[in-house]
A = this chain, B = another copy of it.
Amino acid sequence: MSDSATLPPVSLTERARTLVEADWFTTLVTSVIIINAILLGIDTYDFVSPGAHRLIDFADVLITAFFVFELGCKIFAYRWKFFSTGWNVFDMVVVLVALLPNLGQFSVLRALRVLRVLRLVSVVPTMRRVIEALFRAIPGMGAILAVLVLIVYVGAVMATNLYGDAVPQKFGTLERAAFTLFQLMTLDGWRGEIVQPVMDAGHPYSWIFFLSFMLVGAFAILNLFMALIVDSMNDDVERGISEIEGKQDALRKAQTEADESRAELTRIVIAISEELADIRTALEAKPKPPARRPKKTPDQG
């Protein structure tokens, strides 16, 4: 950084990078996002005068232009690497939505503009970490979610066949049945809005189907939840255990080295013992075995 400041001929790419990585630029982007959020909130009120609505629309065009400039600088600075992080792709998509031509369904596009405010998550590091943690939890749920989707699909096909004619508003098509079964799993108005109408429409034993579905669904969701909690815990427990085990291994290694140095010591002491026997022999001038020396070789430690 300081080097590039002293050297006058700086490339445009370098300048763009310096700009988008500057703290004041991030603060500016964050401020613009918050202003955008407030303006879009004010824009929903009817008591705001038409002139103010036009002003907000104009500010929105300016803000969109600023975001396009900001993302342009980032793409210019990082080239293809820009697209390697999901957050950048997310930023670009929510900004580009506002550039789509205003076709028939104007209100939907207007409404989607506010998604831009979610960029706040991508510029505030603590919120970013929350969302990244949410996404990390997804792989652990994959298989259980697949089973849940399969259960809802099978249940929806069955419910459409069984109750589609009796209660067409709830089970008339596959989508409606799936939606109704999702409602059943949230336990919202399950008896009054779903089970009782079907039972009253000529299917008195339909509660067996619905109860089975609810129990299976609740059990699957319970396990989904448990798997997530237990997974999170395991990471910590396992980290702790591996730390302790690492220290234990160090203790074990030190012990082995101590054993070796003791074996070495024992070898020297035996050598001394034998040397002494020789000395005695030399002294007494007659061979005599070292009587008190143990028979067992002691270098097994």
A248: nearest chain-B partner, CB-CB: B247
**Docked pose: A24 CA to B161 CA in angstroms:** 33
Which secondary structure dominates where chain A touches chain B? helix
Q: Would you call B298 and A268 a contact (CB within 8 A)?
A: yes
- List of B residues within 8 angstroms of A225 by Cβ: 222
CB of A260 within 8 Å of the partner chain: yes
CB of A59 within 8 Å of the partner chain: no
| Cβ proximity bits A123-158 to B, threshold 8 Å, 1 near / 0 not | 010110111011001000011101100110110011
Q: Would you call A108 and B298 a contact (CB within 8 A)?
A: no
CB of A201 within 8 Å of the partner chain: no
Q: Would you call A265 and B265 a contact (CB within 8 A)?
A: yes
Q: Would you call B226 and A228 a contact (CB within 8 A)?
A: yes
Q: Count of chain A residues with Cβ under 8 Å from any Cβ of B?
A: 122
Q: Would you call A143 and B158 a contact (CB within 8 A)?
A: no
Q: Would you call A127 and B146 a contact (CB within 8 A)?
A: yes
**Docked pose: A150 CA to B116 CA in angstroms:** 11
**Docked pose: A183 CA to B164 CA in angstroms:** 24
Q: Would you call B245 and A248 a contact (CB within 8 A)?
A: no
CB distance from A108 to the nearest CB of B (A): 7
CB of A87 within 8 Å of the partner chain: no
CB distance from A63 to the nearest CB of B (A): 15
Can you report 28 residue pairs joining A to B where beta carbons are below 8 Å apart? A44-B173, A44-B174, A45-B173, A114-B158, A118-B154, A121-B147, A126-B146, A127-B143, A127-B146, A134-B220, A186-B214, A188-B190, A189-B189, A189-B191, A229-B230, A238-B240, A244-B245, A245-B247, A247-B249, A247-B252, A257-B301, A262-B301, A267-B294, A272-B273, A274-B292, A275-B293, A278-B280, A283-B283
